[in-house]
Structure 1
Amino acid sequence: MRLSASNISSYIDQLPKNRAYSYINNKTKGEIRIVSVTKPEGPIIIKRYNPSKGGTPFTAKEESISSEMIWRVANAFFPNQPINFDRVLGASYNTRSVLESLIAHTPQFYYCYPGRIESTFNNSTIKKGHKHLIWRPEAPHPLGELHHFETDIVISEVPNTDAFYDALTLPNETKGSEIDIEIKRRHSQIQIALIMIGQQLGFRTWIAQNDKGVIYKNQRIGEMDSVVRSLRDENIISMVNDAYNAAKLIDCIWFKNGNLMPAVMEVEHSTGVTSGLTRMKGLQDTIPAFLTRYVIVAPDEERDKVLREANRLQFQSLNVRYFPYSAVEELYSLCQRRKIRGVTEEFLDCFMEPTVGLSNC
């Protein structure tokens, strides 16, 4: 089970608007009121004020909890696993404690204090933990109430898993084009992450013909060691007449051992999801009996769109998987730090979400 921004916005929208909500920390004397919730994914407009200092809901200014913030929190939740809002959001967003408190007032969420493992030299001890939220969809509490959950969970707070990219240079033809330069840069960063993941897992990677000119670490990505120079050299593609033309503009294809194709991927950062699905369907039509993963790689906040489009009748045969940017970069970071080897292709499925039948999630 996974949460989306629309789930959290919907839960908060169910809270009555005509009352005040307290913070989880009872030392915080302020109160919160919900002004409005924009469906499906926010923003959420709130007012916060401190009655002990003369504040009222009539004099408090309106503030916004952005869709981006809601998405970052939604992506951090897994059932029955505590999350620390400060670690998820860092120093960003001055309304993070407001969002945390409002979520805790909805039925599926509790606040808790899991133990914290503290390691010094050769010793590890369990200390009293910090405040966390935990999602317990199987055990809802009454709407509009705060409930504490006693837990024996202990957390080891390992360093974060940031992915990092060296500088890249986009082809000259990109500059001044209709494509926003930062959108193209992000698209290229994700392609580079997929190349590096593939290399670590023993795959060779095809990059769309029109993207090979991007320069990364002073080298065109089309000339990187694990990047396929020509699709015509791949047996899977060369043995079918129409497969080359169907595949040459697909953003990323992984090949293995000359006769396997672990994944066909479209990175959809700026264009509609439908264009990528259409390209993959075109390839599937040329090699219908060949088993592979057809994957849409897209920002986390595009999940609902991916699920909706992938479930259209004309694309259902693809059995599309969704590979969110956060999962790409989690796997990329793991490859950077641990140089993972020897895992099976099924390992990839842990980072990808099936889409068929989930269009109403």
Structure 2
Amino acid sequence: MTTAIAIEDVRREVKILRALTGHKNLVQFYDAYEDHDNVYIVMEGGKYTEEDAKAVLRQILNVVAFCHLQGVVHRDLKPENFLFASKEDTSKLKAIDFGLSDFVKLDERLNDIVGSAYYVAPEVLHRAYSTEADVWSIGVIAYILLCGSRPFWARTESGIFRAVLKADPIFDEPPWPSLSDEATNFVKRLLNKDPRKRMSAAQALSHPWIRNKDVKVPLDILIFKLMKAYMRSSSLRKAALRALSKMLTVDELFYLREQFALLEPSKNGTISLENIKAVLMVNATDAMKESRIPDFLASLNALQYRRMDFDEFCAAALSVHQLETLDQWEQNARCAYDLFEKDGNKAIVIDELASELGLGPSVPVHAVLHDWIRHTDGKLSFLGFVKLLHGPSRSLAKGQ
């Protein structure tokens, strides 16, 4: 409780609950207690267990992954917008209220601020967002399910927005220390303020905490975004990504194997544009087949004349930004660089590197890329290797 007014608000709520308790359609009130810092209200039900939370979140992630594959971002995900179909314990959860939803293309960014304050993602407030904003909202829901409180709180909407942009969720106070490390890691990976480092909805379903052999990981929109960027990359960047793919964790490989299998590779273990087209036709709704699939296929047109095996798929569909969030990133990047030194590194002049990165004439390339190349042999330095893995960025294009 932060103010006398807030304390009185809760005391009034307790009085009202005492006066009304007993009706079959009202939550059962048992008692209330107060100490120096808090007022505690004891009611029926209680907090979700981890298993309860998993059951709910699997259904939420599944439907959101489906929406994203169809090119729809919900933009107002919150507990109130998920309803159980019946009172049965095994009832399915249904997503509702698509009034704020919108269509979004692979590389498109939306800019209007919509949604409910407690669940809005940082990038929405920055007016540049896509499907990742929904995943942030799911992270807020997961946080609430596991600990019973919101990760960001303030008395005003503007205060909530400031907290979303600046504050970090609390994970060192009860009940978090008593929850599993995997549960905490799961929520943290959904509530990363950098949308590029956030898991997708389909990826979240492959996370060790929530993974379930009875729940299939759905086809992920993210792999098409990453494959599109890979197909447009220079041979040098592809070599760097192949080296990094050798360092993938068991969990990352599980997710990528699931995605590769969904693309239904041929008997020789490779995929082509035809495989992707067939899978998309199965997974797209009738309404989306004509408007969505041509965009996907056009972005991966280079696969029309070649095939891709699983090893290359790992390089094409890995997320460098997500791998950076792992504790062992520095070590893995160093090991990947050692592999790159043996098999892919080559002498390159700054102007050629600038051309590969798509830097325009207005960028002072010698100043920007000076430390990317070793002066001893003209090959990429470790810094250059890591930067190349990320590919072109807006800040790089501006010479920052």
TM-score by length of 1: 0.24
Name the structure where helix makes up a greater proportion of residues: 2
Q: TM (normalized to structure 2)?
A: 0.22
